[in-house]
Amino acid sequence: MKDILTAPFMTEMIRTATNMYYHGWNERNGGNISLLLEEEQIQDYVNSNTVLCSIPTGFTAPELEGKYFLVTGTGKYFKNVQYAPEVNLGLVRLTDGGGTAELLWGFTDGGRFTSEFPAHMMSHVARLKVDPENRVVMHCHPANLLAMTYVHTLDEREFTRTLWQMCTECIVVFPDGVNVLPWMLCGTNEIGEATAEKMKTARLVVWSLHGIYGAGKDLDETFGLIETAEKAAEIYMKIAHLPRVTTITDDMMHQLEARFGVKGRDGYLA
C-alpha cells in the first residue's frame, strides 16, 4: 500500500482546507468538505476490506451506495487539517442504502464525520443528477456573504442580481445564481433536504445568518465559486450604504453571456 498522505486527492484536500482557513472562512470548527472518490483512486492507499468502524448516518441515500468520500470531521478545526490530517479527516464508504458510513481511514481520535453529513450527502445526490462530474460539496462561513444576509432581501432573484452586479465576471462564474435558505437549525436532516432541493437549480446555496454551500467538479472549482461570490458580497458590503452612481446593467450582462457562452438563470435578467 502507498502512503495515503501522498495521494493527490489528499494533498489537494489538505491544501484546500488550509487555504479556506487562511481566507477566514472557517473559524474554529466552522465549515466542512466532502470529496467523492472512485474506487480506483483509493485502492492503492487503503484496503477497502478493512473497515475500522461502522457509523450510522441517520438518513438514506441509495444513490450513494458503495461510494467513497473523504470528509472533514465534526468539531475539527480547518486550521489543524494540515498538521494532523489523519485526526481531522476520514475516508468513508456508504453502505446500507446510505444508512451506514464505514470508516476506512482517519478520525484516529475516535471522531466522526461532520454534523452536516446529511446536507453534504443529499447535496451530492442532487448535484450528481444535474452533473455526473460533480465531486465536491463545500460549506464555510465567509464574512461578507453572511453579513449580506442581515441587510439584503433574501429573495433569490434579487440576491443573485445584486451579486452579479458587483463584479463583471460573476455572471460568468455562477450563471445559475445563488439560492437562499432562511435560517434553519443546522446539522439536521431537514436542513440537508432543504439544501439538496436548492442544489437542484444552483451550485451555490446561502444559509441565511450562517454561511454558504458550494458544489463543483473539483476542490479548486468549488473554492473558486465561493471565492467569487464572497468577493461580490464584499464589494456589496463596501458600497451598500453609499449612493450607487454606476452599476453593471442587464445589457452589459447580456454582452457577457454572448462573449463567454453562458446563460444567466431564466427570468433573472431583463
Is position 116 annotated as part of the catalytic site? yes
Nearer to ligand 13P, 36 or 81 (CB): 81
- Rounded least distance, CB 155 to ligand 13P, Å: 24
Least CB distance to Zn ion at residue 77 (A): 13
Spell out, one character per residue from 209 to 248, where the chain touches Zn ion: x when CB under 5 A holds, - when not: --x-------------------------------------
Looking at the Cβ atoms of 41 and 80, the one nearer to ligand 13P is 80
Is the Cβ of residue 37 or residue 81 nearer to ligand 13P in the bound state? 81
Block residue for cell numbers 438518513: 59
Distance from C-alpha of 259 to C-alpha of 2, rounded to nearest angstrom: 46
In the block, residue with C-alpha cell 450513494: 64
Least gap, CB of 179 to ligand 13P (angstroms): 17
In the numeric block, which cell numbers belong to residue 204?
Answer: 451555490
CA separation for the pair 127, 130 (Å, rounded): 5
**104: alpha, beta or left? (left if phi > 0; alpha if psi -120 to 50):** alpha
Task: Please state, in angstroms and rounded to a whole number, the distance separating the CA atoms of residues 177 and 56.
Answer: 34
Cα(158)–Cα(125) distance, integer angstroms: 27
Choose from ligand 13P, Zn ion, none: what does 32 bind? Cβ within 5-8 Å by kind: ligand 13P
Q: How far is the CB of 10 from Zn ion (least distance, A)?
A: 23
Question: Do residues 179 and 206 touch, judged by C-beta distance below 8 A?
Answer: yes
The letter for the amino acid at 195 is T
Site string for Zn ion, 3-42 (x = CB under 5 A): ----------------------------------------
Q: Which is nearer to Zn ion, 4 or 233 (CB)?
A: 233
> What are the backbone angles phi and psi of residue 94, rounded to the nearest 5°?
-85, 135
Residue 114 near residue 138, CB atoms below 8 Å: no
Of these partners, Zn ion, ligand 13P, none, which one is at the site of residue 29 (CB under 5 to 8 Å by kind)?
A: ligand 13P
Look-up of cell digits 460539496: 137
Catalytic residue among 86, 102, 116, 193: 116
Is 248 within 8 Å of 242 (Cβ atoms)? Answer: no
Q: Which residues bind ligand 13P (CB under 6 A)?
A: 29-32, 72, 74-75, 114-116, 139, 186-187
**Any idea which residues carry the catalytic annotation?**
116
Which positions touch Zn ion (CB under 5 A)?
A: 211
